[in-house]
Amino acid sequence: MDTARDDGFRAITYRSDDGLTLYARDYGGPEIADRLPIICLPGLTRNSRDFHQLALLLSTDPATPRRVITLDYRGRGRSDRDVNKANYNLRVESQDVVSACQHFGIDRAIFIGTSRGGLILHLLAEMRPDLIAAAILNDIGPKIEPSGLKRIRDYLNSAATPSDWPEAVAFLKACHSLYFPALQEHDWQEMAATIYRDADGMPVADFDPAIAAQLQMIDFDQPLSDLWLYYDQLAAKPLLVIKGEYSDLLSDDTLAEMNARHPSLAILEAPGQGHAPLLHLEPIFRHIRRFVAEA
């Protein structure tokens, strides 16, 4: 289903292999056919709205406009919740991305993956390497730091429902301002609008709570699994890694190993930001625009 263009994008729904209705935004549209499209993959509990400002900038670039597609995974945003909570896993979500590409008629694209979206890109490099022309990993790599994942677990599972939008903004600032000194007041307001949906004037977290609950099942006394074997396949592609200056999820040691396995890896630090950086802010956007233009 394709709804009318609104705020620079078309709202589109399509079907997963197992019959869920999934949601996406299509910026720029298929009429921009002479350049590789860009597909944006959000984080664990996030959604297509995370990329709105970035998608507008890329799709309306005066020199090289691109078609940009941003996705809501199952259980997030406007996509269906899954009654089988075990399906909230990287393999199933990666197949949903393949289904999105099939629906949009895309056989090759530039991918931008934030956090979990970057992990999905690792699996796509094994499942469908032909789909990936180039990739941007936003504050994620094949190895995750346990301390950062614990912080995300605690934040997601202890968050109280804010009573109004100013309280939602204040809560986000209280949780994350230490890691994001670069953000201005309007950035926090935009962040709240991406994380929460409006329910009769009340902000409500826009994801299935079962997704956050899964993090409570992780045994942090055991080493976390890594994706180095998948990264080695992703490393065959042009690759840009963005690391937040204050990130606690992607370590310098992991970044150094990624660079050693991909000598032409482009690395960029997002000043004044933690996990995960806002990509439409400068100087990050300027580097993304250049990387995309050269892909």
Residue holding tokens 């409006």? 198
CATH number of the domain that residue 230 is part of: 3.40.50.1820
Does 164 fall in a domain? no
Task: With respect to residue 240, please indicate whether it lies within any of the assigned structural domains.
Answer: yes
Residues in CB range of 273: below 8 A, 6 or more apart = 179, 180, 182, 183, 244, 245, 246, 281
Please report whether residue 126 resides in a domain. Answer: yes
> Is 171 within the bounds of a domain?
no
For the chain, give the percent of residues with pLDDT over 70: 97
What CA–CA distance (Å, rounded) separates 211 from 60? 34
> Residue holding tokens 């605690």?
154
pLDDT category of residue 2 using cuts at 50, 70 and 90 = very low
Q: What is the dihedral of CA 42, 47, 48, 54, to 10 degrees?
A: -60
pLDDT in tens, 113-150: 999 999 999 999 999 999 999 999 999 999 999 999 99
Domain range for 20 is: 2-145+225-294
pLDDT of residue 5: 53
Domain count, the chain: 1
| Residue 57 within a domain | yes
Query: Does residue 268 form part of some domain?
Result: yes
Mean pLDDT of the region 199-218: 94
Mean pLDDT score of the chain: 94
Q: What is the pTM of this model?
A: 0.96
Per the domain annotation, does 167 fall within a domain? no
Residue 186 lies in a domain: no
CA distance 222 to 116: 20
The stretch 201-229 carries a mean pLDDT of 94
Name which of 150, 117, 77 is nearest 234 in CA terms.
117
Q: Examine the pLDDT at 221 and tell me if it is beyond 60.
A: yes
Segment 212-237 mean pLDDT = 95
Q: How many CA atoms lie within 13 A of 222 on its CB side?
A: 6
Would you place residue 47 in the very low, low, confident or very high pLDDT band (cuts 50, 70, 90)? Answer: very high
